[in-house]
Amino acid sequence: MIVKQLYADNRLRNFHYLIACEKSREAMVIDPLDVDRCLDAAKKNNFKITTILNTHDHWDHIGGNEEIREKTGATLFSHTGAMGKIPNVDKGLNAGDQLKIGSSVSFKVLDTPGHTDSHICLLSDEKTPSLFCGDTMFNAGVGHCKLGGNPDDLFNTFDQQLSKLPNETKIYPGHDYIINNLEFTLDREPNNESAKSYLKNLEKQSPHDAFISTMKDERNINSFLRLKNPAIISELRKSFPDLPENPSEKEVFIALRELRNNW
């Protein structure tokens, strides 16, 4: 599997992805917005785009669909539940479906609501898996729930699915938000030495050559995967004095998400 992460150079800091079969050079583009950037990268790498995948229906993840379809003839996939919101979807996907690219690339479809009610992530079928997670999970953070989402659903997605992924899983999010998210982590957990180190090393990185985290990294730097951490809970009490003495992981997650909305 060949993965090309493409940074859009826009104010929303979008990432697009080209994922290709090494044997056939057939490729999938995930969440296209900057069409020229996607098509130029495909041409440069001798890829033939046959598939478009939208993780969810927000405009900055679907804006390039029609132009890429017109220029490549690619088949458009989305969550079945998003087919009424995304124009001209060819095939809907559900939890557990397999999505294949060429002869050597295969993904398992995960139904991951929270950021929106119809959001999918793709988990590669490899010895070292890769998660293409749209706006469900970011490096050192998670997606918001303000535009058609639900924080209870987002917690369940993490609790029942993403938190169970193996440490070596590579994380490919829909936006480059790692610096802000690390700063949020340190605001909650000022003595998190891992987050301090990552922030120091990455604050001047180019998003065109972005750091690719793993679930092991995320478990060290992502507050939303550190829900039992006493320092996080203690800091949360400053903003949520009514937080129970021994809060559940869900209560901590929901409080973190609410705090991040206005942080």
Tell me the three-class secondary structure of 169-210, residue by residue: CEEEECECCHHHHHHHHHHHCCCCHHHHHHHHHHCCCCHHHC
Which residues form the domain of 144? 2-261
Q: Over the stretch 177-195, which tens digit does the pLDDT of each residue have?
A: 999 999 999 999 999 999 9
Q: What is the pLDDT of residue 263?
A: 80
Q: What is the pLDDT of residue 48?
A: 98
For residues 25 and 11, the answer to whether their CB atoms sit within 8 Å is: no
Number of domain units in the chain:
1
Domain with residue 74: its CATH number is 3.60.15.10
For residues 56 and 116, the answer to whether their CB atoms sit within 8 Å is: yes
Rounded CA gap, 1 and 171, in Å? 15
Taking 70 as the pLDDT cut, the residues of the chain under it are none
Q: What is the pLDDT of residue 262?
A: 87
Give Cβ neighbours of residue 113 (< 8 Å, ≥ 6 apart). 119, 149, 150, 153, 154, 156, 157
